[in-house]
Structure 1
Amino acid sequence: MKVSVVPALIAAGLLLAVAQGAHASESLARSKNCLSCHTVDKKVVGPSYKDIALKYKGKGVEATLARKIREGGSGTFGSIPMPASPQVSEAEAQQLARWILSL
Protein backbone atom coordinates (compact mmCIF):
# COMPACT_ATOMS: atom_id res chain seq x y z
CA MET A 1 0.00 0.00 0.00
CA LYS A 2 1.38 3.41 -1.01
CA VAL A 3 0.81 6.26 1.44
CA SER A 4 0.94 9.82 0.22
CA VAL A 5 2.99 12.20 2.33
CA VAL A 6 1.26 15.26 0.87
CA PRO A 7 -1.67 15.26 3.36
CA ALA A 8 0.77 14.88 6.25
CA LEU A 9 2.87 17.76 4.94
CA ILE A 10 -0.22 19.94 4.53
CA ALA A 11 -1.32 19.11 8.08
CA ALA A 12 2.15 19.86 9.42
CA GLY A 13 2.15 23.18 7.58
CA LEU A 14 -1.22 24.10 9.04
CA LEU A 15 -0.05 23.23 12.54
CA LEU A 16 3.06 25.34 12.06
CA ALA A 17 0.98 28.27 10.81
CA VAL A 18 -1.35 28.00 13.81
CA ALA A 19 1.61 27.83 16.20
CA GLN A 20 3.26 30.83 14.57
CA GLY A 21 -0.02 32.76 14.78
CA ALA A 22 -0.37 31.92 18.46
CA HIS A 23 3.22 32.99 19.10
CA ALA A 24 2.65 36.25 17.24
CA SER A 25 -0.51 36.91 19.25
CA GLU A 26 1.22 36.20 22.55
CA SER A 27 4.06 38.52 21.49
CA LEU A 28 1.46 41.18 20.66
CA ALA A 29 -0.13 40.75 24.10
CA ARG A 30 3.30 41.14 25.67
CA SER A 31 4.13 44.26 23.64
CA LYS A 32 0.81 45.91 24.59
CA ASN A 33 1.34 45.16 28.33
CA CYS A 34 -1.64 42.77 28.49
CA LEU A 35 0.54 40.22 30.30
CA SER A 36 0.95 42.64 33.21
CA CYS A 37 -2.53 41.62 34.37
CA HIS A 38 -3.27 38.39 32.47
CA THR A 39 -1.54 35.09 31.73
CA VAL A 40 -2.63 32.22 29.54
CA ASP A 41 -3.44 29.78 32.33
CA LYS A 42 -3.68 31.47 35.73
CA LYS A 43 -5.38 34.48 37.29
CA VAL A 44 -3.11 37.41 38.07
CA VAL A 45 -4.92 40.75 38.42
CA GLY A 46 -7.39 39.79 35.73
CA PRO A 47 -8.65 36.37 34.69
CA SER A 48 -6.50 33.95 32.72
CA TYR A 49 -7.02 33.90 28.98
CA LYS A 50 -8.17 30.28 29.25
CA ASP A 51 -10.86 31.33 31.78
CA ILE A 52 -12.00 34.06 29.38
CA ALA A 53 -12.13 31.56 26.51
CA LEU A 54 -14.12 29.11 28.65
CA LYS A 55 -16.63 31.75 29.72
CA TYR A 56 -17.27 32.88 26.15
CA LYS A 57 -16.93 29.49 24.38
CA GLY A 58 -19.36 29.16 21.50
CA LYS A 59 -20.98 32.54 22.05
CA GLY A 60 -19.60 34.35 18.97
CA VAL A 61 -18.29 37.27 20.97
CA GLU A 62 -15.05 38.07 19.15
CA ALA A 63 -16.17 41.63 18.32
CA THR A 64 -17.43 42.19 21.87
CA LEU A 65 -14.18 40.95 23.37
CA ALA A 66 -12.12 43.07 20.96
CA ARG A 67 -14.15 46.12 22.03
CA LYS A 68 -13.57 45.31 25.71
CA ILE A 69 -9.84 45.04 25.06
CA ARG A 70 -9.81 48.55 23.61
CA GLU A 71 -12.43 50.23 25.83
CA GLY A 72 -12.03 48.33 29.09
CA GLY A 73 -14.83 46.93 31.18
CA SER A 74 -15.90 45.69 34.58
CA GLY A 75 -18.19 43.27 36.32
CA THR A 76 -17.79 40.26 34.05
CA PHE A 77 -15.04 38.61 36.12
CA GLY A 78 -15.45 40.43 39.44
CA SER A 79 -15.11 43.92 40.79
CA ILE A 80 -11.64 44.81 39.47
CA PRO A 81 -12.14 46.88 36.30
CA MET A 82 -10.05 46.37 33.19
CA PRO A 83 -8.70 49.71 32.01
CA ALA A 84 -9.04 50.82 28.42
CA SER A 85 -6.16 50.03 26.08
CA PRO A 86 -6.17 52.81 23.47
CA GLN A 87 -2.65 51.77 22.38
CA VAL A 88 -4.22 48.63 20.88
CA SER A 89 -5.57 49.18 17.37
CA GLU A 90 -8.89 47.67 16.29
CA ALA A 91 -7.05 45.10 14.14
CA GLU A 92 -4.76 44.18 17.05
CA ALA A 93 -7.74 43.86 19.41
CA GLN A 94 -9.43 41.51 16.94
CA GLN A 95 -6.25 39.43 16.66
CA LEU A 96 -5.96 39.23 20.44
CA ALA A 97 -9.63 38.33 20.83
CA ARG A 98 -9.35 35.51 18.24
CA TRP A 99 -6.25 34.16 19.99
CA ILE A 100 -7.83 34.29 23.46
CA LEU A 101 -11.00 32.59 22.25
CA SER A 102 -8.93 29.85 20.58
CA LEU A 103 -7.37 28.73 23.87
Structure 2
Amino acid sequence: MKKLLILLSLVSICTLANAADEPSPAALAGSNGCLICHNASQKLVGPAFKAIAEKYQGQADAQKTLVNKVRNGGAGSWGKIPMPAHPEATEAHLNTIVAWILKGSPS
Protein backbone atom coordinates (compact mmCIF):
# COMPACT_ATOMS: atom_id res chain seq x y z
CA MET A 1 0.00 0.00 0.00
CA LYS A 2 2.83 2.37 0.89
CA LYS A 3 4.51 1.72 -2.48
CA LEU A 4 1.26 2.49 -4.27
CA LEU A 5 0.91 5.82 -2.47
CA ILE A 6 4.49 6.74 -3.32
CA LEU A 7 3.92 5.81 -6.96
CA LEU A 8 0.71 7.85 -7.15
CA SER A 9 2.48 10.81 -5.55
CA LEU A 10 5.28 10.67 -8.10
CA VAL A 11 2.83 10.45 -10.99
CA SER A 12 0.94 13.46 -9.63
CA ILE A 13 4.11 15.50 -9.26
CA CYS A 14 5.23 14.65 -12.80
CA THR A 15 1.81 15.55 -14.18
CA LEU A 16 1.86 18.92 -12.40
CA ALA A 17 5.38 19.61 -13.63
CA ASN A 18 4.34 18.95 -17.23
CA ALA A 19 1.25 21.14 -16.89
CA ALA A 20 3.40 24.00 -15.61
CA ASP A 21 5.58 23.74 -18.73
CA GLU A 22 2.64 24.30 -21.09
CA PRO A 23 2.65 27.81 -22.59
CA SER A 24 -0.37 30.01 -22.01
CA PRO A 25 -2.94 30.38 -24.81
CA ALA A 26 -1.80 33.98 -25.30
CA ALA A 27 1.81 32.83 -25.67
CA LEU A 28 0.72 30.18 -28.17
CA ALA A 29 -1.19 32.82 -30.14
CA GLY A 30 1.98 34.89 -30.26
CA SER A 31 4.31 32.06 -31.21
CA ASN A 32 1.94 30.84 -33.94
CA GLY A 33 1.69 34.27 -35.57
CA CYS A 34 -1.91 35.06 -34.61
CA LEU A 35 -1.00 38.38 -33.00
CA ILE A 36 0.51 39.69 -36.22
CA CYS A 37 -2.98 40.18 -37.65
CA HIS A 38 -5.28 39.91 -34.61
CA ASN A 39 -5.75 41.69 -31.31
CA ALA A 40 -7.97 40.90 -28.33
CA SER A 41 -10.27 43.89 -28.71
CA GLN A 42 -9.46 45.85 -31.90
CA LYS A 43 -9.54 44.94 -35.57
CA LEU A 44 -6.09 44.94 -37.12
CA VAL A 45 -5.65 43.09 -40.43
CA GLY A 46 -8.03 40.44 -39.13
CA PRO A 47 -10.94 40.71 -36.72
CA ALA A 48 -10.51 41.18 -32.99
CA PHE A 49 -10.68 38.00 -30.95
CA LYS A 50 -13.66 39.52 -29.12
CA ALA A 51 -15.55 39.89 -32.42
CA ILE A 52 -14.74 36.28 -33.34
CA ALA A 53 -16.04 35.07 -29.96
CA GLU A 54 -19.24 37.08 -30.42
CA LYS A 55 -19.82 35.81 -33.97
CA TYR A 56 -19.44 32.16 -33.00
CA GLN A 57 -21.12 32.34 -29.57
CA GLY A 58 -23.60 29.51 -29.10
CA GLN A 59 -22.58 27.61 -32.24
CA ALA A 60 -22.02 23.97 -31.38
CA ASP A 61 -19.41 23.46 -34.10
CA ALA A 62 -17.50 26.71 -33.48
CA GLN A 63 -14.37 25.04 -32.08
CA LYS A 64 -14.05 22.61 -34.99
CA THR A 65 -14.92 25.26 -37.60
CA LEU A 66 -12.33 27.72 -36.34
CA VAL A 67 -9.57 25.13 -35.90
CA ASN A 68 -10.09 24.14 -39.54
CA LYS A 69 -10.17 27.80 -40.63
CA VAL A 70 -6.91 28.57 -38.85
CA ARG A 71 -5.19 25.43 -40.13
CA ASN A 72 -6.34 25.82 -43.76
CA GLY A 73 -6.76 29.61 -44.05
CA GLY A 74 -9.43 31.20 -46.19
CA ALA A 75 -11.23 34.36 -47.17
CA GLY A 76 -14.69 35.84 -47.18
CA SER A 77 -15.66 35.48 -43.53
CA TRP A 78 -14.32 38.87 -42.42
CA GLY A 79 -13.59 40.78 -45.61
CA LYS A 80 -11.43 40.51 -48.68
CA ILE A 81 -8.03 39.89 -47.08
CA PRO A 82 -7.49 36.13 -46.76
CA MET A 83 -6.14 34.52 -43.64
CA PRO A 84 -3.06 32.45 -44.47
CA ALA A 85 -3.00 28.76 -43.62
CA HIS A 86 -1.09 27.62 -40.55
CA PRO A 87 -0.34 23.95 -41.30
CA GLU A 88 2.70 23.96 -39.01
CA ALA A 89 0.58 24.57 -35.90
CA THR A 90 -0.12 21.44 -33.89
CA GLU A 91 -3.67 20.23 -33.38
CA ALA A 92 -3.29 20.65 -29.61
CA HIS A 93 -2.06 24.23 -29.95
CA LEU A 94 -4.81 25.13 -32.41
CA ASN A 95 -7.45 23.74 -30.06
CA THR A 96 -5.98 25.65 -27.11
CA ILE A 97 -5.81 28.93 -29.04
CA VAL A 98 -9.31 28.62 -30.49
CA ALA A 99 -10.84 27.69 -27.11
CA TRP A 100 -9.15 30.75 -25.60
CA ILE A 101 -10.47 33.00 -28.39
CA LEU A 102 -13.99 31.64 -27.97
CA LYS A 103 -13.81 32.41 -24.23
CA GLY A 104 -13.08 36.04 -25.07
CA SER A 105 -9.27 35.73 -24.93
CA PRO A 106 -8.96 36.48 -21.21
CA SER A 107 -5.59 37.65 -19.89
TM class by shorter-chain length? 0.7 to 0.9
2:88 and 2:26 mapped to 1: Cα distance? 16
2:86 is aligned to 85
Could you give the per-residue CA deviations for residues 23-81 of structure 1, whole angstroms, max 9, x where no partner exists?
80000000111100001110000000000000000002101101111111111111110
Q: AA paired with 1:35?
A: L
**TM-score, length-normalised on structure 2?**
0.73
The amino acid that maps onto 1:43 is: K
CA displacement at 1:97 relative to structure 2: 0.9
Bigger radius of gyration:
2
Structure 1: which amino acid aligns with 2:56?
Answer: Y
Deviation at 1:91, TM superposition (A): 1.2
Match of 1:13 in 2: none
2:42 is aligned to 42
In structure 2, the residue matched to 1:53 is 53
Identical positions, percent: 44
Q: RMSD over aligned Cα, in angstroms?
A: 1.5
| Superposition TM-score, scaled by structure 1 size | 0.75
Moved over 2 A (4+): none
Q: Deviations over 1:73-93 (max 9, x none)?
A: 111111110000112111111
> Is residue 29 of structure 1 aligned with residue 26 of structure 2?
no
Per-residue CA deviations over 1:4-31 (Å, capped at 9, x if unaligned) read: xxxxxxxxxxxxxxxx9xx800000001
